[in-house]
Amino acid sequence: MAHLSLATTERWTDKQGQAQERTEWHRVVLFARTAEIAERYLRCGSLIYVEGRLQTRRWNDDNGQERQRTEVVAERLKLLDRRPAEAAPPAAATATGANARTKPAGPPARRAPEPAVADFNDDLPF
């Protein structure tokens, strides 16, 4: 099981032409394989798509006060960030006299295709 905070931001222009912005934070709960994928691939600031259901939990805290929290129980998680470019191999050095120069490393290495991680229930018709 994993928990994460998700920010959603809404931007609009009001009637006076002023740019407005509102950010809301949501608690997301992930289970099983989805939680493992989140732990492995997500970092602070990662862009993700989450789909799930809302669940409200109620409990009494240590002081006897009733508390409640509404969470998104994620059923689908899709990573939207591109993976960082892999580091290029070090350039080969050749010595000519007292000067050392570097040769171009050649064409960039091909990236492995990104795994289709956590897009489990792709039942959309498009």
Output the CA torsion 29→31→37→39 (10° steps): 60
The whole-number pLDDT of residue 91 equals 38
In a domain, 123, yes or no: no
How many domains, in total, are found in the chain? 1
In a domain, 125, yes or no: no
Bridge-partner residues for 111, per DSSP? none
In a domain, 122, yes or no: no
Bridge-partner residues for 12, per DSSP? 20
- What residue numbers bound the domain in which 7 lies? 2-102
User: One digit per residue, pLDDT tens: the chain, 126 residues?
Assistant: 999 999 999 999 999 999 999 999 999 999 999 999 999 999 888 999 999 999 999 999 999 999 999 999 999 999 998 765 443 333 333 333 333 333 333 344 444 444 444 444 444 443
The whole-number pLDDT of residue 84 equals 53
In a domain, 32, yes or no: yes
In a domain, 107, yes or no: no
Rounded to an integer, what distance in angstroms lies between the CA atom of residue 64 and that of residue 74? Answer: 30
Domain with residue 19: its CATH number is 2.40.50.140
In a domain, 118, yes or no: no
Instruction: Determine how β-strand 66-79 pairs with β-strand 19-30.
Output: parallel
Angle CA(111)–CA(6)–CA(36) in degrees, nearest 5? 55
